[in-house]
């Protein structure tokens, strides 16, 4: 049996092990007793190995898929209840020195380029805050000359320093290129939330084919989380694959191997896993990619990742359509973006024609164009609790201090009331009358479901105070 602890850091994505897992899974999937065993294990909320997940990836009959989806719903309900964390991406710069085949920001594209000034960042933050956002994900192309680490750090400070009548941005997550341990320390000191970096594809030959420029270095990119956690002291990291670059069976198994590796070497696995799917973009020959993932297979892999890593947040972006996002929420997704712009300066509607008359273009095309308030209304109608909670990050419950609470189930006594309290803030400060009525009815009912009696009483008291004007009360 594969043992992640025995492998050096540059070997933990083992091509031979992945191929063997796929080969063995094709045999085991014919054994219904083995599938039932794996699903029974998943219902214990302890996760699955990448080998067990590989077997589930081979399932193709509707009856067994529905059984797996039912299990995924049970696991998600047990861990996350009906909470859905809301965030928005903020693009700082579209300058990039890489020429990645799938990206609208690639350096060969003749598009307008821009880096936000600090005043433009303040304008973006004001626009985002007006939508109710409290949690941002910063994005930038890789360009050490136009977008060095010092610029990123300055942007973080600018965002945190911006204050509003209703508070401030409470958590800034970062999605920037793989960097050095020293730079990760700087990001840690700047009080970032989670550091995210997607491998794009774990299949090395495909990775090398897709990337030209500094990002071409597969090992440097793959080992970034080791440097961030072990060298930079960052507690929470987020990993992911861009589905559509290579076979989804391979990518999902490798993704779970990466999670196992981080658990082994850092003592805690990824805080989040993202599952972006390849979309059309400027200068990208979308139809030329042979491994595009259809909806049926994509839903399957989302459910399997939920079963394999039950305590890890799963992120879905506005790449997916409204109706399909609803389907995926049921089987595993726990975080989603709302009202996203993937343009530089897209929220404040700045001019996107550069001095040479070139028009800036988004990184990729979106599928969900709803305003944040409409996303929130739809979530409430479907029985979900929109959460703007950032309490664990701000109370120091991160990394190896968060996972024991999550795995023991104790975190519910914090997460459930915090979701309700932050949703009440949103309703009080940003909602229209329709959402206020819908939301407060939900909150009044859900506050009774806080498991611990003392926490429930305290949460009810906090709720009354928020409705009287208090803010940022948390567990």
In this prediction, residue 32 carries a pLDDT of: 97
Residues 297 and 319 reside in one and the same domain: yes
Residues 102 and 34 reside in one and the same domain: no
Where are the extended beta strands (E) located within 98-197? 135-140, 163-164, 167-168, 171-175, 195-196
In this prediction, residue 356 carries a pLDDT of: 85
pLDDT digits (tens, 9 = 90+) for 388-403: 999 888 888 888 888 7
Give the dihedral of Cα atoms 150, 99, 239, 285; nearest 10 deg. Answer: 140
Tell me: pLDDT of 10 over 80: no
> Within a domain: residue 135?
yes
How many independent structural domains does the chain possess?
3
Decide which of 352, 381, 410 is a domain's last residue.
381
- Which of these, 230, 131, 168, lies nearest to 394 by C-alpha position? 168
In this prediction, residue 349 carries a pLDDT of: 87
Mean pLDDT to the nearest integer, 234-255: 98
Decide which of 76, 97, 123 is a domain's last residue.
76
Please report, for residues 136, 142, 317, 318, 378, the alpha-carbon distance to residue 341 in angstroms, rounded to integers and kept in the order given.
Answer: 12, 19, 11, 9, 19
pLDDT digits (tens, 9 = 90+) for 117-136: 999 999 999 999 999 999 99
In this prediction, residue 408 carries a pLDDT of: 74
The reported pTM is 0.95
d(CA 247, CA 256): 15
In this prediction, residue 7 carries a pLDDT of: 38
Residues 325 and 460 reside in one and the same domain: no
d(CA 168, CA 164): 6
> Within a domain: residue 6?
no
- Looking from the CA of 264 toward its CB, the CA atoms found within 13 Å total 16
> Within a domain: residue 168?
yes
DSSP 320: S
Residues 154 and 290 reside in one and the same domain: yes
Residues 291 and 218 reside in one and the same domain: yes
In this prediction, residue 84 carries a pLDDT of: 97
> Within a domain: residue 152?
yes
Confidence of residue 413 (pLDDT cuts 50, 70, 90): confident
Give the domain CATH number at 357: 3.20.20.70
Q: Under 8 Å CB-to-CB from 440, ≥6 apart: which residues? A: 424, 427
> Within a domain: residue 333?
yes
Residues 273 and 360 reside in one and the same domain: yes
> Within a domain: residue 460?
yes
Residues 297 and 188 reside in one and the same domain: yes
Decide which of 76, 104, 124 is a domain's last residue.
76
Residues 228 and 327 reside in one and the same domain: yes
> Within a domain: residue 268?
yes
Residues 219 and 330 reside in one and the same domain: yes
Confidence of residue 221 (pLDDT cuts 50, 70, 90): very high
Residue 420 belongs to domain spanning: 399-467
Confidence of residue 468 (pLDDT cuts 50, 70, 90): very high
pLDDT digits (tens, 9 = 90+) for 80-96: 999 999 999 999 999 99
Mean pLDDT to the nearest integer, 254-258: 98
Residues 81, 278, 235, 308, CA torsion sign: positive
> Within a domain: residue 5?
no
Mean pLDDT of the chain: 94
pLDDT digits (tens, 9 = 90+) for 422-461: 999 999 999 999 999 999 999 999 999 998 899 999 999 9
pLDDT digits (tens, 9 = 90+) for 92-117: 999 999 999 999 999 999 999 999 99
pLDDT digits (tens, 9 = 90+) for 167-187: 899 999 999 999 999 999 999
Residues 65 and 119 reside in one and the same domain: no
Residues 303 and 351 reside in one and the same domain: yes
In this prediction, residue 403 carries a pLDDT of: 78
Residues 322 and 432 reside in one and the same domain: no
Six-digit token pair at 286?
């979308």
């Amino acid at each position: 049996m594969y043992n992640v602890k025995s492998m050096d850091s540059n070997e933990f994505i083992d091509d031979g092990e992945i191929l063997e897992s796929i080969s063995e899974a094709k045999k085991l999937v014919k054994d219904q007793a083995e599938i039932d065993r794996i699903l029974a294990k998943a219902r214990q909320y302890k996760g699955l190995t990448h080998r067990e997940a590989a077997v589930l990836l081979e399932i193709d009959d509707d009856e067994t898929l529905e059984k797996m989806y039912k299990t995924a719903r049970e696991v998600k309900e047990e861990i996350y209840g009906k909470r859905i964390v809301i965030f928005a991406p903020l693009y700082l710069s579209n300058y990039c020195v890489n020429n990645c085949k799938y990206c609208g920001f690639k350096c060969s594209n003749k598009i307008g380029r821009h880096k936000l000034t600090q005043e433009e960042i303040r304008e973006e933050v004001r626009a985002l805050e007006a939508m109710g956002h409290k949690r941002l994900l910063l994005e930038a192309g890789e360009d050490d000359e136009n977008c060095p680490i010092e610029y990123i750090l300055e942007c973080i400070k600018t965002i945190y320093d911006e204050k509003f009548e209703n508070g401030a941005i409470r958590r800034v997550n970062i999605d920037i290129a793989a960097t050095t341990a020293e730079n990760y320390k700087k990001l840690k000191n700047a009080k970032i939330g989670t550091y995210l970096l997607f491998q794009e594809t774990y299949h090395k030959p495909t990775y090398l084919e897709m990337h030209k420029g500094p990002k071409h270095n597969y090992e440097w990119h793959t080992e970034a989380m080791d440097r961030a956690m072990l060298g930079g002291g960052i507690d929470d990291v987020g990993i992911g694959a861009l589905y559509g670059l290579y076979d989804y069976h391979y990518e999902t198994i490798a993704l779970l191997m990466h999670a196992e590796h981080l658990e082994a070497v850092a003592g805690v696995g990824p805080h989040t896993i993202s599952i972006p799917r390849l979309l059309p973009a400027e200068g990208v020959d979308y139809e030329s990619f042979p491994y595009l993932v259809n909806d049926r297979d994509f839903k399957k892999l989302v459910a399997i990742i939920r079963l394999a890593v039950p305590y890890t947040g799963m992120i879905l972006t506005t790449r997916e359509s409204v109706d399909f996002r609803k389907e995926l929420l049921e089987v595993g997704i726990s975080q989603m973006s709302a009202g996203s712009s993937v343009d530089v300066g897209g929220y404040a509607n700045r001019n996107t024609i550069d001095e040479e008359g070139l028009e800036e273009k988004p990184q990729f095309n979106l599928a969900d164009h709803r305003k944040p308030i409409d996303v929130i209304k739809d979530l409430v109608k479907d029985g979900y609790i929109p959460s703007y909670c950032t309490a664990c990050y701000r109370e120091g419950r991160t990394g190896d201090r968060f996972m024991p609470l999550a795995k023991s189930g104790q975190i519910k006594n914090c997460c459930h009331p915090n979701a309700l309290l932050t949703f009440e803030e949103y309703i009080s400060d940003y909602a229209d009358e329709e959402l206020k009525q819908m939301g407060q009815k939900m909150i009044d009912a859900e506050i009774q479901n806080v498991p611990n009696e003392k926490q429930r009483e305290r949460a009810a008291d906090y709720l009354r105070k928020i409705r009287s004007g208090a803010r940022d009360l948390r567990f």
